[in-house]
Each structure stands twice: as C-alpha cells, then as structure tokens.
Structure 1
C-alpha cells in the first residue's frame, strides 16, 4: 500500500471500524507482528510503534472495486456477531463514501480475533 489513495482508504476503514461500539481495537496479523518484532530496536530509539490501523488490509479487487479485511477484538459485554455486522457495514459505507466518481463495489471481511 504505497500509494496515497490506498493509504487514505486504509485510514478511513480503520477509523470506521474503531468507531463501532464494542470494538476494543484492531489486531495486527502475523506479518504486522513480525515487522514490529524486527523493529523493536528502532522503537527503543524513538521510532513509531505499529499504527492503529495495522488490523486493516485493503486491496484492489479484479472487478475494479475494493476488498477490505478487518481484524478486531471485541469487548466481552457485546455480542460478537452484532459488532462484526456493524463493523462490516460501517467500513463498507466509509470505503464507498471515500471513492470519487462512480463508487466501485466494496467487499468487507471481518474477523473477530478475541474478546476482552
């Protein structure tokens, strides 16, 4: 995700997911965790930690739309299914609104990694 539009969509999806009641936070996947482990020395000298949106993956779909994956933790006093459905809808809405011109289809996959 080196281009600015991809990064902007990435940030918009993260903000939308984090704004859903019941979401405790986004969870980085294994690749993000390995990257963080490899940069611990840099962090010790002041480098930035993993960004809050590390639990979001965005990619262009073959049909010209977007595929968005969200990995999140949910507060245990919320129903996981309800939170996951709301995250999916909020992220889809944010990603669709983010697009300029005729909006392309957005597919959102939500994975709840744990409850806290």
Structure 2
C-alpha cells in the first residue's frame, strides 16, 4: 500500500513532535481509537497502517497550504506552554522540509493541544 501525501505529512509531524523533550506521547482522538478497535476486529486491509500518527491530523487546504493539528501528552514537571511552543516549531519545520523534499512546498500552520500531563512512574 502506498502512502498518501496526508499520511506522509502526518508521519513527519509525529516524528518531530515525539522528538521534543517533554512530550510523553501523542493522544489519539476518540474517532481514531474507535477506528483502531474496528480494524483489529475486522482485520480490514484498508485500516490505517500508521497507528503512531493517530494524534496527528493533517489537511491540505487549497487556498492556504497545510493545516496540522497535534494532540500530545506532556511529562509532569515540564512547562506545558514551552513544550507546546517547541512542538509547534519542530512540526512546522519538519513538515515544511518534508514538503520541499518532495517538490510540493506550501505554507504550514500547526495547532498544538496538550491533552494531559503524565506523572512520573
């Protein structure tokens, strides 16, 4: 199965977000969780083979470029605003570089939502 441009952008965004110090994990939305459960039950060949990007949404908006949404969890003890700012910067840079490498440069906007903080184990 070949990747769609949206999946490639989501993968680049996920890698960048997870590389930011303080990010514990990406947080899938309810629809992603339900889809994952359904795909395990049905063993659907069209299921998303990239569960690691479930906390990332990417959409190509023809008049304004790419809009990327990142939902992440942050380790306790980190300033959420600092981590979110870094995630935004890293994801924007990574997705922009990915698009340039593949000959389709476009503006990239990033929205970061921190869904929770995780206490140390």
TM more than 0.5: yes
Q: Which residue of 1 aligns with 2:5?
A: 5
- Within 5 Å, give how 1:53-92 maps onto structure 2: 53-92=53-92
Distance 1:5 1:40 in 2: 24
Q: Which residue of 2 aligns with 1:96?
A: 96
Unaligned 5+ segments in structure 1 are: none
The CA deviation at 1:37 is 2.8
Q: Taking structure 1 as reference, are residues 48 and 65 closer, same or farther at Cα in structure 2, changes over 3 Å only?
A: closer
Q: Secondary structure at the match of 1:73?
A: strand
The CA deviation at 1:35 is 1.2
Q: Which residue of 1 aligns with 2:37?
A: 37
Q: Deviations over 1:46-97 (max 9, x none)?
A: x998711110000002325100000000001110000000000000000110
Aligned length: 112
- Within 5 Å, give how 1:11-22 maps onto structure 2: 11-22=11-22
Q: Which residue of 2 aligns with 1:113?
A: 115
Unaligned 5+ segments in structure 2 are: none
Q: Taking structure 1 as reference, are residues 115 and 49 closer, same or farther at Cα in structure 2, changes over 3 Å only?
A: farther
Q: Which shifted more, 88-97 or 100-109?
A: 100-109
Give yes or no for contact 1:36–1:49 (8 Å, CA) kept in 2: no
